[in-house]
Structure 1
Amino acid sequence: MSAAPPARALLDALDEPALIVAAGRIEAANRAALAMLGPGIVGRDHRIGLRHPQLLATIAAGKRADVAIVGVGGPERPWLVAVRPLGQRGGCLIRFIDRAEALAAERMRVDFVANASHELRTPLATISGYAETLAEPEIPDQLRRNFATTIAGEAARMLRIIEDLMSLSRIEASRFVAPGDRCNLVSLARQAEAQVGPLAERRNCPVETDLPAEPVTVAADCGQMLQVIDNLLSNAIRYGGSGVRLTVATERGRPFVRVSDSGPGIAPLHLPRLTERFYRIDDARSRGSGGTGLGLAIVKHIVERHRGTLDIRSRPGEGTSVTVALPAADLS
């Protein structure tokens, strides 16, 4: 028996790898299946073409089934394989549904819940322990004040984490909605500089600006773009040494914001992971500085919504430079 031309045409209409097995042979395969399993599989014994014990057992059973397998088309590649009998015609249709993206999303969700729980558990444990101690009747006034100050600081840290998580949620909810406002990056930069002024003063880290006299206009959500500049400046002040530079300009028709610092720099192995939620190079240093571990994750999601690019460059001992480039606003 051989698959009729209409059957082959239907297989080719499917994006995922698909094939028809009948009488112990692979009777037809679409382009995606040929690319994954090899161009010579059609007409061969299906046990040679597929070579996966669990999948072969499912085919031999001759029943409708979905089976999760790993190892076809790559040593660690995960699939959900849908096996569907073809009724009186005989044989079965086999579709390979790629699970890599779904599994990666699930792993990210699990990791995020675990990380968020860990981040909130630490200040909660501190607050709980200090509160229990404060309940003791014979606590010196100075120690009581110290404990109360620590509790207030940990509560404020929890509030910052929750606010950043809520901010991320709002950004993700609007990720498919194109920003419709027109914003002047120069004005936003000046506003962000004023907002981080108290932090810069406490850290003795002055912010120098290189801003053009004329407006630099972009199509953007102005509140989110202000958040981007504020987060970049706050990060640079907390971790960037004794000086920070804020630049707004246009290069090759694309407006950009750049925040550079004179800090210790970042080792190359950390750079690809800096925008992950709760990723920290140094946990103790980050928490001590008041960071939540979510600032660059927020920046990344906002930049993606605006169809911009985020470029982080750093070398140990040479400081760090973060550039956000955005599409120019259509002023017509």
Structure 2
Amino acid sequence: MEEIKATGEIKEVEQSVVEMANELNNFIQSQHHFFQNASHELKTPLMTIQGYAEGIKDGIFEGEDAERGLNVMVAEINRLKKIINEIILLAKLDSEADIYHVKKVNVEQFIEKVMERAIPIANDQNKEIILTKITNHILSFDEGGKMLQAVMNIVTNAIRHAHQRVEISVRTENNQLRIEVVDDGNGIDEDVIQKLFHRFVKGKSGGETGLGLAIARAIVERSGGIIKAENTINKGAKFSILFTKHEKNTD
């Protein structure tokens, strides 16, 4: 029997069904990878905790060794809590519109909050963080601290990978406000840079959970911005957050 080819509206419906099926398949695959990665990240600290707990219970670790084991267990429990909290936050960012409470924010005051939190972190690692340039502006984004968390995720990542120095700048360019964070580290691995903002992606030097930059992207994009990363000519990494200007400059 000769195959009858779909035409006109039927053909359009067929194409739509195929596209939806492909999107569903991609979603299922991404969820599969997410749960695979999540289970691995959760399993690692749990195995460490279990190993030390059983060793202390059975008397294998005693005295200073037991004390050291307890300290490791506490650290791994805190790491586990961080992973779980970040997974929950990502789920909320993906599904809940009402967790955003948008209002106008003074960018200069916002960056001051970032610096107040970032300087002690940099000092603790014997690194320098400076604000090289700031163009004041008024932007509208979430007032509940989510954008602050997004920028701090980027800044702490830069501090961790920097050799000595991290620079933050805020400037306007082509009707866009740009918040840039630049470090003097080794840059981003080429095999990682295209998927850097995906969940559970870590560079060679690792990271705490592999979720911080994914959270930053989700918050920035939900706030109407764009986030991107690239290597600089000096081999460090540069992260840029871009917002289209709608309000007048406050200078």
For residues 253 and 179 of structure 1, do their structure 2 counterparts lie closer, same or farther at Cα, with a shift above 3 Å needed? farther
Once residues 315 and 252 of structure 1 are traced to their aligned partners in structure 2, the CA distance between those partners, rounded to angstroms, is 21
Identity of aligned residues (%): 26
Residue 252 of structure 1, CA deviation: 2.2
Q: Write out per-residue CA displacement over residues 135-161 of structure 1, whole angstroms, 9 at most, x where no aligned residue.
A: 134643211121111111111111111
| Counterpart position of 1:143 | 65
| Counterpart position of 1:256 | 178
Instruction: Report which of the two structures shows the higher radius of gyration computed on alpha carbons.
Output: 1
Once residues 34 and 93 of structure 2 are traced to their aligned partners in structure 1, the CA distance between those partners, rounded to angstroms, is 16
2:232 and 2:238 in contact (8 A); partners too: no
| Counterpart position of 1:125 | 47
Whether 2:22 is the aligned partner of 1:100: answer: yes
For residues 138 and 271 of structure 1, do their structure 2 counterparts lie closer, same or farther at Cα, with a shift above 3 Å needed? closer
Whether 2:3 is the aligned partner of 1:30: answer: no
Residue 248 of structure 1, CA deviation: 1.4
For residues 144 and 316 of structure 1, do their structure 2 counterparts lie closer, same or farther at Cα, with a shift above 3 Å needed? farther
Extract unaligned runs of 5+ from structure 1. 1-22, 35-79, 82-93
Whether 2:189 is the aligned partner of 1:272: answer: no
Extract unaligned runs of 5+ from structure 2. none
| Counterpart position of 2:225 | 308
Residue 28 of structure 1, CA deviation: 5.8
Question: SS at the partner of 2:181?
Answer: strand
2:226 and 2:242 in contact (8 A); partners too: yes
Whether 2:221 is the aligned partner of 1:221: answer: no
Residue 307 of structure 1, CA deviation: 2.1
Q: Write out per-residue CA displacement over residues 12-56 of structure 1, whole angstroms, 9 at most, x where no aligned residue.
A: xxxxxxxxxxx846376117849xxxxxxxxxxxxxxxxxxxxxx
| Counterpart position of 2:241 | 324
| Counterpart position of 2:83 | 161
Equivalenced residue count is: 246
RMSD: 2.7
Match of 1:184 among 97, 106, 110: 106
Q: Which amino acid aligns with 1:298?
A: I
For residues 173 and 138 of structure 1, do their structure 2 counterparts lie closer, same or farther at Cα, with a shift above 3 Å needed? closer
Q: Which has the higher contact order (CA 8 A, sep 6+)?
A: 2
Residue 273 of structure 1, CA deviation: 0.6
Q: Which amino acid aligns with 2:206?
A: S
Question: SS at the partner of 1:119?
Answer: helix
TM-score by length of 2: 0.87
Q: Which amino acid aligns with 2:178?
A: F
Higher helix share: 2
Match of 2:209 among 268, 276, 292: 292
Question: SS at the partner of 1:158?
Answer: helix
Once residues 316 and 164 of structure 1 are traced to their aligned partners in structure 2, the CA distance between those partners, rounded to angstroms, is 33
Once residues 162 and 115 of structure 1 are traced to their aligned partners in structure 2, the CA distance between those partners, rounded to angstroms, is 13
Q: Which amino acid aligns with 1:97?
A: V
Runs of 4+ aligned structure 1 residues displaced above 2 Å come to 23-28, 31-34, 94-98, 136-140, 173-180, 196-199, 327-331
Once residues 215 and 16 of structure 2 are traced to their aligned partners in structure 1, the CA distance between those partners, rounded to angstroms, is 38
For residues 234 and 126 of structure 1, do their structure 2 counterparts lie closer, same or farther at Cα, with a shift above 3 Å needed? same
Q: Which amino acid aligns with 1:169?
A: A
Q: Which amino acid aligns with 1:286?
A: G
For residues 262 and 145 of structure 1, do their structure 2 counterparts lie closer, same or farther at Cα, with a shift above 3 Å needed? same
